[in-house]
Amino acid sequence: MRPTFEILTTDGAARTGRLLTTHGAVETPAFMPVGTYGSVKAMAPEELEGLGAQIVLANTFHLMLRPGADIVHAHQGLHGFMHWQRPILTDSGGFQVFSLRSLRKITEEGVRFRSPIDGSEVRLTPEDSMDVQLKLRSDIAMALDDCTPYPATEAEARASMERSMRWAARSHEHYYGRTTDGGPGEPPGGLFGIVQGGMHHALRLASLESLMGRDWPGLAVGGLAVGESEEERIGVLEALVPHMPADRPRYLMGVGRPEDIIEAVLRGVDLFDCVIPTRHARNGHLFTSTGVINIRNSAHQADVGPLDPACGCYTCRNYSRSYLRHLDRCNEILGSRLNTLHNLHFYLELMRSIRAAIAAGRLAAFARDYLRKRQGSVDAVA
C-alpha cells in the first residue's frame, strides 16, 4: 500500500503524526536505525522491537551488490530475509554511489561505477534503483537522486538538482504500476521524492516546486550531512521546510546527532536516519544523560557503576562501566552489542520524549533543557 500520514498534534512548526505503511504504523517524529546490509549492526530484530524501533532503513547500494536483489526477492523481500516484520525504508543507492567519487561516471542515463566488492562495472539508473527497491519490497522507497557535493557553486548545484528532478520523474514513472517482480500492478509500498539544491535556498525551493508536479506520499531533504556547517543546514531547513506540504511526512536524510534531530524537529521534520548511534557504539562512544562518554577512557577502568544511572536499558541495568570498557579492550562482540543497544535506546528514548513534549506543547522547553544538560559531558568525543 501507499503510505498515508496523519498529523496528531502540533507545537509551533513541530508535529506528532502517524505514518501508516504495509507493515504497520510509525509514530513520528521517528528515528530509523540503519541496517545497511539487512542487519542493524550487532542487533537482533527482537532486540530492536524491544527498544521500540518502529522502522529500519536498509541500503539499496549495498544490498544490490551483496547478496543481490534477486536473492532478497526469493525471500519475499527484505522482511523475510532479515526477519523483521515492521516497516522498512530503502534508500535509492544514490548517496553511496556519489561517495565513490573517482570510481563512478555520471551521465543523463544514470551512474556507472566499479563495485567496491569485486571491481566489476555496475549500472544504476533511476529504473534500476526502482527495480531493486521493488524486489527488496520496502514499505518506503526513495527516488534516485544526484547528491550534490559540498561545496558547490550555484551553477553546479543547479545542474545537479535539475538532473535529480529528471531522475525523480523517471523514478516515479517506473515505480508506480509495477509489482515486486516487475509485472504490472500495485507496488509494495510508496515512493518518496528528494529535494536537492545544495546550500542554495532558491534552488531548494525550485526543486520542491518541481517535485510538487507529482504525487509523493512523503518528501525528503537530501544533500545535507555532507560537510556543511550547522548554520548552513539549519538555514536550508528554515528556508525549505515551511513550504513542504504539511500533510505529508518530511524526512531529513542522514542527520544526525541528538541535538541536530531536536533542531530539525523544531522546524517541522518528522523522520530521521543516521549511523551515529550504532557506529559510535562500536567505537566506544556512548550517549548518556550528561553527555557522550568514551568508554575506552582509563577513568572507567575500575568503575563498578552503570554507564548512565538515569538509563533503564538492559546494558545499564546489568553491567558496569568497568565491564563495558573491558569488553571493548578485548574486542568482545558482546561489547558491541551492549554499546549498540544502549545508544539505540538513547536515541529511541529521545524520540519518545520529543513526541511527548510536542503533544504537551512544550517542545521548546524540552529542547533548551536537553542542550543545557549535555554541557556536563565528561569525555568530549562527539
Of the pair 59, 207, the CB lying nearest its own copies is at 59
Cell of 47: 532486540
Residue with cell 546527532: 257
Q: How far is the CB of 68 from its own copies (least distance, A)?
A: 9
Asked if 85 is part of the footprint of its own copies (rule: CB under 8 A), the reply reads no
Residue 91 among the catalytic residues: yes
In contact, 137 and 182? CB cutoff 8 Å: no
Half-sphere exposure of residue 94: CA atoms within 13 angstroms, side-chain side: 29
* Residues near its own copies (CB under 8 A), total: 35
Span near its own copies by CB under 8 A; candidates 39-47, 89-97, 104-112, 291-299? 39-47
Catalytic residue among 91, 128, 146, 270: 91
Cell of 5: 500520514
Q: How far is the CB of 59 from its own copies (least distance, A)?
A: 11
Of the pair 74, 365, the CB lying nearest its own copies is at 74
Binding mask 337-356 for its own copies (x = CB under 8 A): x-------------------
Burial class (CB in 10 A: 0-12, 13-18, 19+), 108: exposed
Q: How far is the CB of 53 from its own copies (least distance, A)?
A: 14
Asked if 371 is part of the footprint of its own copies (rule: CB under 8 A), the reply reads no
Of the pair 305, 376, the CB lying nearest its own copies is at 305
Span near its own copies by CB under 8 A; candidates 1-9, 41-49, 229-237, 353-361? 41-49
H-only helix segments in the chain: 45-51, 60-65, 69-74, 78-82, 94-99, 126-136, 154-175, 201-211, 230-240, 258-266, 276-282, 314-318, 321-329, 333-359, 363-373
Residue 303 among the catalytic residues: no
Distance from C-alpha of 220 to C-alpha of 250, rounded to nearest angstrom? 6
In degrees to the nearest 10, what's the CA dihedral of 194, 124, 214, 192?
A: -40
Catalytic residue among 139, 146, 273, 328: 273
Distance from C-alpha of 323 to C-alpha of 316, rounded to nearest angstrom? 11
Site residues for its own copies, 274-303, by CB under 8 A, read: 301-302
Site residues for its own copies, 309-338, by CB under 8 A, read: 318-320, 322-323, 325-327, 329-330, 332-337
Distance from C-alpha of 168 to C-alpha of 155, rounded to nearest angstrom? 20
What DSSP designation does 219 have? E
The pairing of strands 219-221 and 250-252 is parallel
Site residues for its own copies, 61-80, by CB under 8 A, read: 66-67, 70-71, 74-75
Site residues for its own copies, 244-273, by CB under 8 A, read: none
Catalytic residues: 91, 273
**Interface residues toward its own copies, by CB under 8 A:** 37-39, 41-44, 66-67, 70-71, 74-75, 81-83, 301-302, 304, 318-320, 322-323, 325-327, 329-330, 332-337
